[in-house]
Amino acid sequence: MAKTSKARQAIIEAAKKMPPLFHKIPDEDFDYRKARTLWWLVKQPEVLKYVWDIVKQSGAVIYDGTTRKWHGVDFEEVDDED
């Protein structure tokens, strides 16, 4: 068996408990945003933690200690004043 990380293995174990769900809704074009399988998966704490860890470690988001919020490195505040 191939070596997997603890986090990845936790996701696999969570997925093993997934109830019967549609990935593609019958009579509709496939849309990831409508896939019930993905809806279920992203509600699992193991999946959320894994995704967050990947994003955070990539450097794509940074923490602002002043506001105590995270934001994307390319986020630009929009000034609503004209």
Model's pTM, two decimal places?
0.74
Structure tokens at 62: 């940074």
At 57 the pLDDT is 96
As a whole number of Å, the CA-based R_g of the chain is 18
At 78 the pLDDT is 82
Distance of CA 16 to the CA centre of its chain: 18
**Distance separating alpha carbons of residues 20 and 27, to the nearest angstrom:** 18
Q: What is the mean pLDDT of each run of 10 residues along the chain (82 residues)?
A: 77 96 97 97 94 96 97 89 62
Q: Which of 56, 61, 57, 55 is nearest to 73 (CA)?
A: 61
First to last CA, the chain: 61
At 63 the pLDDT is 98
